[in-house]
A and B are shown apart, each in its own frame.
Chain A
Amino acid sequence: MLPDEEIVCELTRLVWRTMLGLDASDRAEPAEGDELTTSVDISGAWVGTVSITCSPALAKHLAATMLACPQDDATAADVRDVIAELTNVVGGNMKGVLPGPSKLSIPRVERGSAPSATGKGSRHWFDCDGQAFSVSVFETSEQQGR
Protein backbone atom coordinates (compact mmCIF):
# COMPACT_ATOMS: atom_id res chain seq x y z
CA MET A 1 0.00 0.00 0.00
CA LEU A 2 1.00 3.62 -0.50
CA PRO A 3 0.03 6.45 1.83
CA ASP A 4 -2.88 8.55 0.64
CA GLU A 5 -1.55 11.43 -1.47
CA GLU A 6 -3.47 13.92 0.65
CA ILE A 7 -1.62 12.65 3.74
CA VAL A 8 1.73 13.07 1.96
CA CYS A 9 0.77 16.65 1.08
CA GLU A 10 -0.54 17.49 4.55
CA LEU A 11 2.57 16.10 6.25
CA THR A 12 4.88 17.98 3.89
CA ARG A 13 3.02 21.25 4.34
CA LEU A 14 3.07 20.78 8.13
CA VAL A 15 6.83 20.14 8.19
CA TRP A 16 7.55 23.13 5.91
CA ARG A 17 5.31 25.43 7.95
CA THR A 18 6.52 24.30 11.38
CA MET A 19 10.22 23.82 10.76
CA LEU A 20 10.81 26.52 8.16
CA GLY A 21 7.88 28.93 8.43
CA LEU A 22 7.41 28.49 4.67
CA ASP A 23 4.44 27.44 2.53
CA ALA A 24 4.56 24.37 0.30
CA SER A 25 1.83 24.77 -2.31
CA ASP A 26 0.89 22.34 -5.05
CA ARG A 27 2.74 22.66 -8.34
CA ALA A 28 1.79 21.00 -11.60
CA GLU A 29 5.08 21.03 -13.47
CA PRO A 30 8.30 19.34 -12.34
CA ALA A 31 11.60 21.13 -11.80
CA GLU A 32 14.26 21.27 -14.48
CA GLY A 33 18.01 21.19 -14.17
CA ASP A 34 20.31 20.08 -11.42
CA GLU A 35 18.73 18.12 -8.58
CA LEU A 36 19.62 16.99 -5.10
CA THR A 37 17.77 14.04 -3.58
CA THR A 38 17.64 13.01 0.07
CA SER A 39 16.12 9.66 0.98
CA VAL A 40 15.19 7.60 4.01
CA ASP A 41 14.37 3.91 3.79
CA ILE A 42 11.59 2.30 5.79
CA SER A 43 12.01 -1.42 6.39
CA GLY A 44 9.79 -3.87 8.20
CA ALA A 45 6.10 -4.52 7.69
CA TRP A 46 6.30 -1.90 4.92
CA VAL A 47 9.42 -1.61 2.77
CA GLY A 48 10.16 1.45 0.69
CA THR A 49 11.77 4.86 0.37
CA VAL A 50 10.68 8.42 1.03
CA SER A 51 12.66 11.03 -0.93
CA ILE A 52 12.74 14.79 -1.22
CA THR A 53 14.20 16.23 -4.42
CA CYS A 54 14.98 19.87 -5.06
CA SER A 55 17.48 22.12 -6.79
CA PRO A 56 20.73 22.96 -4.98
CA ALA A 57 19.52 26.59 -4.96
CA LEU A 58 16.32 25.70 -3.10
CA ALA A 59 18.27 23.45 -0.71
CA LYS A 60 20.50 26.42 0.14
CA HIS A 61 17.46 28.65 0.62
CA LEU A 62 15.91 26.06 2.98
CA ALA A 63 19.14 25.73 4.95
CA ALA A 64 19.50 29.50 5.36
CA THR A 65 15.85 29.74 6.42
CA MET A 66 16.10 26.97 9.01
CA LEU A 67 19.40 28.23 10.39
CA ALA A 68 18.18 31.84 10.29
CA CYS A 69 21.34 33.00 8.52
CA PRO A 70 22.19 34.71 5.20
CA GLN A 71 22.41 32.24 2.28
CA ASP A 72 26.12 32.94 1.87
CA ASP A 73 26.72 31.74 5.43
CA ALA A 74 25.07 28.33 4.85
CA THR A 75 27.89 25.88 4.10
CA ALA A 76 27.57 22.75 1.94
CA ALA A 77 27.50 20.71 5.16
CA ASP A 78 24.67 22.90 6.52
CA VAL A 79 22.68 22.38 3.31
CA ARG A 80 23.07 18.59 3.47
CA ASP A 81 22.24 18.59 7.18
CA VAL A 82 19.05 20.62 6.75
CA ILE A 83 17.61 18.70 3.81
CA ALA A 84 18.55 15.43 5.52
CA GLU A 85 16.67 16.52 8.65
CA LEU A 86 13.62 17.66 6.64
CA THR A 87 13.57 14.25 4.93
CA ASN A 88 14.00 12.49 8.27
CA VAL A 89 10.99 14.32 9.70
CA VAL A 90 8.78 13.77 6.63
CA GLY A 91 9.89 10.12 6.45
CA GLY A 92 9.45 9.56 10.18
CA ASN A 93 5.93 10.93 10.08
CA MET A 94 5.17 8.89 6.96
CA LYS A 95 6.37 5.77 8.75
CA GLY A 96 3.71 6.49 11.38
CA VAL A 97 0.88 6.20 8.85
CA LEU A 98 2.25 3.08 7.13
CA PRO A 99 1.91 -0.49 8.40
CA GLY A 100 4.35 -1.30 11.21
CA PRO A 101 6.48 -2.25 12.94
CA SER A 102 9.31 -0.88 10.84
CA LYS A 103 12.60 0.96 11.09
CA LEU A 104 13.71 4.25 9.59
CA SER A 105 17.19 4.58 8.11
CA ILE A 106 19.59 7.48 8.49
CA PRO A 107 19.01 9.95 5.60
CA ARG A 108 21.36 9.88 2.61
CA VAL A 109 21.92 12.80 0.24
CA GLU A 110 22.70 12.22 -3.44
CA ARG A 111 23.05 14.26 -6.61
CA GLY A 112 20.32 13.52 -9.13
CA SER A 113 16.63 12.75 -9.24
CA ALA A 114 14.51 10.57 -6.94
CA PRO A 115 14.77 6.87 -7.75
CA SER A 116 11.88 5.89 -9.99
CA ALA A 117 12.19 2.42 -8.41
CA THR A 118 10.81 -0.81 -9.70
CA GLY A 119 7.86 -0.95 -7.33
CA LYS A 120 4.77 1.17 -6.82
CA GLY A 121 5.22 4.81 -6.14
CA SER A 122 4.01 8.37 -6.28
CA ARG A 123 5.71 11.72 -6.64
CA HIS A 124 4.10 15.01 -5.71
CA TRP A 125 5.46 18.39 -6.77
CA PHE A 126 5.35 21.45 -4.54
CA ASP A 127 6.26 25.08 -4.92
CA CYS A 128 8.25 26.84 -2.21
CA ASP A 129 9.03 30.53 -2.70
CA GLY A 130 8.81 30.08 -6.49
CA GLN A 131 11.05 27.00 -6.64
CA ALA A 132 10.03 23.38 -7.16
CA PHE A 133 10.60 20.38 -4.94
CA SER A 134 9.06 16.94 -4.86
CA VAL A 135 8.22 14.33 -2.25
CA SER A 136 8.32 10.74 -3.51
CA VAL A 137 7.15 7.58 -1.82
CA PHE A 138 8.15 4.28 -3.40
CA GLU A 139 7.25 0.86 -2.11
CA THR A 140 9.91 -1.65 -3.08
CA SER A 141 8.01 -4.76 -2.05
CA GLU A 142 4.97 -5.95 -0.20
CA GLN A 143 5.17 -7.32 3.36
CA GLN A 144 8.49 -9.01 3.94
CA GLY A 145 7.62 -10.26 7.42
CA ARG A 146 10.61 -8.60 9.04
Chain B
Amino acid sequence: MKILVVDDSKAMRMIVTRTLRQAGFGDHPVTEAADGKLGLEALQREAFDVVLSDWNMPEMTGIELIQAVRAAKIPVRFGFVTSEGTESMRKQAAEAGADFLIAKPFTVESFEMALRGILAA
Protein backbone atom coordinates (compact mmCIF):
# COMPACT_ATOMS: atom_id res chain seq x y z
CA MET B 1 0.00 0.00 0.00
CA LYS B 2 1.29 3.46 -0.83
CA ILE B 3 1.49 5.98 2.00
CA LEU B 4 1.70 9.77 1.68
CA VAL B 5 3.11 11.58 4.73
CA VAL B 6 2.23 15.29 4.78
CA ASP B 7 3.98 17.49 7.36
CA ASP B 8 5.80 20.82 7.16
CA SER B 9 8.45 19.50 9.55
CA LYS B 10 11.13 17.42 7.84
CA ALA B 11 12.03 15.94 11.23
CA MET B 12 8.44 14.87 11.83
CA ARG B 13 8.13 13.31 8.37
CA MET B 14 11.24 11.33 9.20
CA ILE B 15 9.91 10.27 12.59
CA VAL B 16 6.54 9.24 11.14
CA THR B 17 8.34 7.13 8.52
CA ARG B 18 10.59 5.62 11.20
CA THR B 19 7.60 4.87 13.43
CA LEU B 20 5.79 3.16 10.54
CA ARG B 21 8.84 0.93 10.17
CA GLN B 22 9.00 0.23 13.92
CA ALA B 23 5.29 -0.61 13.92
CA GLY B 24 5.92 -3.28 11.30
CA PHE B 25 4.69 -1.33 8.28
CA GLY B 26 8.13 -0.78 6.74
CA ASP B 27 7.24 -2.71 3.58
CA HIS B 28 4.84 0.00 2.43
CA PRO B 29 6.40 2.68 0.21
CA VAL B 30 6.30 6.19 1.70
CA THR B 31 6.21 9.49 -0.20
CA GLU B 32 6.59 12.83 1.58
CA ALA B 33 4.95 16.22 1.02
CA ALA B 34 5.97 19.39 2.90
CA ASP B 35 2.49 20.97 3.25
CA GLY B 36 -1.17 20.42 2.37
CA LYS B 37 -0.90 22.07 -1.04
CA LEU B 38 2.00 19.83 -2.08
CA GLY B 39 0.13 16.88 -0.58
CA LEU B 40 -2.93 17.62 -2.72
CA GLU B 41 -0.75 17.96 -5.82
CA ALA B 42 0.79 14.55 -5.06
CA LEU B 43 -2.68 13.01 -4.65
CA GLN B 44 -3.87 14.50 -7.93
CA ARG B 45 -0.75 13.19 -9.69
CA GLU B 46 -0.54 9.73 -8.20
CA ALA B 47 -2.75 7.17 -6.42
CA PHE B 48 -2.09 6.59 -2.72
CA ASP B 49 -3.84 4.24 -0.32
CA VAL B 50 -3.29 6.13 2.94
CA VAL B 51 -2.54 9.76 3.84
CA LEU B 52 -0.95 10.60 7.21
CA SER B 53 -1.25 14.37 7.57
CA ASP B 54 -0.29 17.01 10.08
CA TRP B 55 -3.06 19.50 10.90
CA ASN B 56 -1.27 22.80 11.45
CA MET B 57 0.70 23.64 8.28
CA PRO B 58 1.40 26.71 6.13
CA GLU B 59 -0.10 27.06 2.62
CA MET B 60 -2.86 24.50 3.20
CA THR B 61 -3.78 22.99 6.58
CA GLY B 62 -4.57 19.34 7.10
CA ILE B 63 -8.30 20.00 7.44
CA GLU B 64 -8.28 21.99 4.19
CA LEU B 65 -6.42 19.11 2.56
CA ILE B 66 -8.96 16.48 3.58
CA GLN B 67 -11.83 18.74 2.53
CA ALA B 68 -10.23 19.15 -0.90
CA VAL B 69 -9.55 15.41 -1.14
CA ARG B 70 -13.12 14.46 -0.23
CA ALA B 71 -14.58 17.17 -2.51
CA ALA B 72 -12.50 15.83 -5.42
CA LYS B 73 -13.64 12.29 -4.49
CA ILE B 74 -10.05 11.03 -4.40
CA PRO B 75 -10.32 7.50 -2.97
CA VAL B 76 -7.83 7.39 -0.09
CA ARG B 77 -7.87 6.54 3.62
CA PHE B 78 -6.97 9.66 5.59
CA GLY B 79 -5.53 10.02 9.09
CA PHE B 80 -4.25 13.00 11.04
CA VAL B 81 -1.00 12.97 13.00
CA THR B 82 -1.27 16.13 15.05
CA SER B 83 -0.34 17.78 18.33
CA GLU B 84 -4.00 18.70 18.79
CA GLY B 85 -5.82 15.57 19.91
CA THR B 86 -8.77 17.01 21.82
CA GLU B 87 -12.27 15.60 21.45
CA SER B 88 -13.39 18.63 19.43
CA MET B 89 -10.51 18.18 16.97
CA ARG B 90 -11.27 14.46 16.68
CA LYS B 91 -14.91 15.30 16.00
CA GLN B 92 -13.95 17.89 13.38
CA ALA B 93 -11.59 15.38 11.75
CA ALA B 94 -14.24 12.65 11.67
CA GLU B 95 -16.86 15.03 10.27
CA ALA B 96 -14.44 15.97 7.48
CA GLY B 97 -14.09 12.27 6.61
CA ALA B 98 -10.91 11.27 8.47
CA ASP B 99 -10.49 7.60 9.33
CA PHE B 100 -8.38 8.21 12.45
CA LEU B 101 -6.35 10.75 14.41
CA ILE B 102 -3.02 9.99 16.06
CA ALA B 103 -2.04 12.56 18.70
CA LYS B 104 1.55 13.80 19.03
CA PRO B 105 3.59 12.84 20.93
CA PHE B 106 2.80 9.37 19.65
CA THR B 107 4.14 5.91 20.34
CA VAL B 108 4.77 2.92 18.08
CA GLU B 109 1.72 1.32 19.71
CA SER B 110 -0.55 4.22 18.70
CA PHE B 111 0.53 3.71 15.06
CA GLU B 112 -0.08 -0.04 15.33
CA MET B 113 -3.57 0.52 16.74
CA ALA B 114 -4.59 3.15 14.18
CA LEU B 115 -3.14 1.45 11.12
CA ARG B 116 -3.40 -2.28 11.83
CA GLY B 117 -6.82 -2.62 10.21
CA ILE B 118 -5.84 -0.55 7.19
CA LEU B 119 -2.28 -1.56 6.32
CA ALA B 120 -2.52 -5.17 7.42
CA ALA B 121 -5.62 -5.71 5.28
Contacts and interface: CB of A to CB of B under 8 A. Distances in A.
B82 interface: yes
A81 to B, nearest CB: 5
B9 interface: yes
Contact of A85 (B12, B58, B85, B86): B12
A96 B85 contact: yes
Interface residues of A, number: 26
Interface string A92-109: 110110001100101000
Contact of B105 (A14, A63, A91, A106): A14
Contacts of A96: 84-86
B105 A67 contact: no
A115 B106 CA distance: 29
Interface residues of B, number: 21
Interface in B22-75: 56-58
B56 A15 contact: no
A92 B107 contact: no
A133 B107 CA distance: 24
A58 interface: no
A55 interface: no
27 contacts: A14-B105, A18-B105, A19-B104, A19-B105, A63-B11, A66-B15, A67-B11, A67-B14, A68-B18, A78-B11, A81-B9, A82-B11, A85-B9, A85-B12, A88-B9, A88-B56, A90-B83, A91-B83, A92-B82, A93-B83, A93-B85, A95-B84, A95-B86, A96-B85, A96-B86, A106-B8, A106-B56
